[in-house]
Amino acid sequence: MNVIALAGGVGGAKLVHGLAALLSPEHFSVIVNTGDDFEYCGLKISPDLDTVCYTLAGLANPETGWGRRDETWTVFEVVKGLGGPAWFQLGDKDLATHLARTEWLNRGLSLSEITQKLCHRWGVEHLVLPMTDSPVETIVHTKAQGSLGFQHYFVEQACQPMVRGFAFEGATQAAPAPGALEKIRAADLVILTPSNPWVSIDPILAVPGYRDALVEKVVIGVSPLVGGKALKGPAAKMFSELGIEPCASSVAEHYGALLSGFVFDHQDSDELEKIQRWRIIPLLTNIIMKDVQDRVRLAREVLTFGESVSDRSQ
């Protein structure tokens, strides 16, 4: 079975890790959000690409999910000592990634080419594609502080400002990364991983071509919320601030007609009827991924569920 996952931050990377353990590189590729990308100290940083690649390479920091394990922080401690910026923490090994990517971008390589070079070095055999090679910036419109770049909202302001909405600057002028649409068209199953719908999956869907390509596919969404709370990050807070109940069925409704099936947690079984109302086939299971075994277990359940949904839609 050919599978494509759309992923953003840490939650999405965990399920991608489980799927990659079950599917060979010929049968599984990932399309990653680049709306979080920004420039910091002159360096071009692609956090979600790095989080997915580090996770697949076994290099990810197990505590935070982002950045690298066994990290040292010498360079940015000295930068801080000089009075330089320190709000976005870059470890020394992670810094090397940003130095290499920035140099290669300045030499004219595409984000796709750079991601392949890095994946080759890190021993990641599955194809990891940026959603586009063009610049797209997620802007968070907030009540008290106007429009903020995503990392300024997420890290510098620690997700505190109340959100009013989002914009994905550059998305309408962007095109899917080379090969991305072909991979989706060849897929038997597309998985919207448990990333933040607003700022990890929506930026991908905002790039022209993706929504149309997904229309005739079997698409399974996985809830990033359990019991009305996000497993990590501001997804539930964003739903509330936008006046929407933060719950699994709100996530299913957010994706709406895109979804053939939706995977959510036993704790939210009371939402089963609501989800079925939208003719979305439900799968209730334990969607919390505490360790690698959980990632593989959930991935296996999602794949089995995807096959059954695919059989029913034929």
Closest CB to ligand FO1: residue number: 9
Q: Which stretch binds ligand FO1 (CB under 6 A): 5-13, 121-129, 165-173, 256-264?
A: 5-13
Q: Which stretch binds ligand FO1 (CB under 6 A): 48-56, 168-176, 186-194, 303-311?
A: 48-56
- Out of 2, 89, 116, 286, point to the residue binding ligand FO1 (CB under 6 A): 89
Report how far residue 37's alpha carbon sits from residue 26's, in angstroms, rounded to the nearest whole number. Answer: 28
Q: Which stretch binds ligand FO1 (CB under 6 A): 104-112, 151-159, 167-175, 295-303?
A: 151-159
Question: How big is the chain by its Cα radius of gyration, in Å?
Answer: 19
Q: Does 8 bind ligand FO1 (CB under 6 A)?
A: yes
H/E stretch holding 180: helix 180-185
Q: Does 37 bind ligand FO1 (CB under 6 A)?
A: no
- Out of 66, 166, 210, 262, point to the residue binding ligand FO1 (CB under 6 A): 66
Q: Does 67 bind ligand FO1 (CB under 6 A)?
A: yes
63 contact partners, CB below 8 Å, separation of at least 6:
none
73 contact partners, CB below 8 Å, separation of at least 6:
89, 91, 92
Contact 283, 5 (CB under 8 A): no
Closest by CA position to 251, among listed 166, 208, 169, 193: 193
Report how far residue 156's alpha carbon sits from residue 153's, in angstroms, rounded to the nearest whole number. Answer: 6
Q: Does 130 bind ligand FO1 (CB under 6 A)?
A: no
For the chain, the first-to-last Cα distance in angstroms comes to 15
Q: Does 138 bind ligand FO1 (CB under 6 A)?
A: no
Q: Which stretch binds ligand FO1 (CB under 6 A): 43-51, 111-119, 172-180, 235-243?
A: 43-51
Q: Does 88 bind ligand FO1 (CB under 6 A)?
A: yes
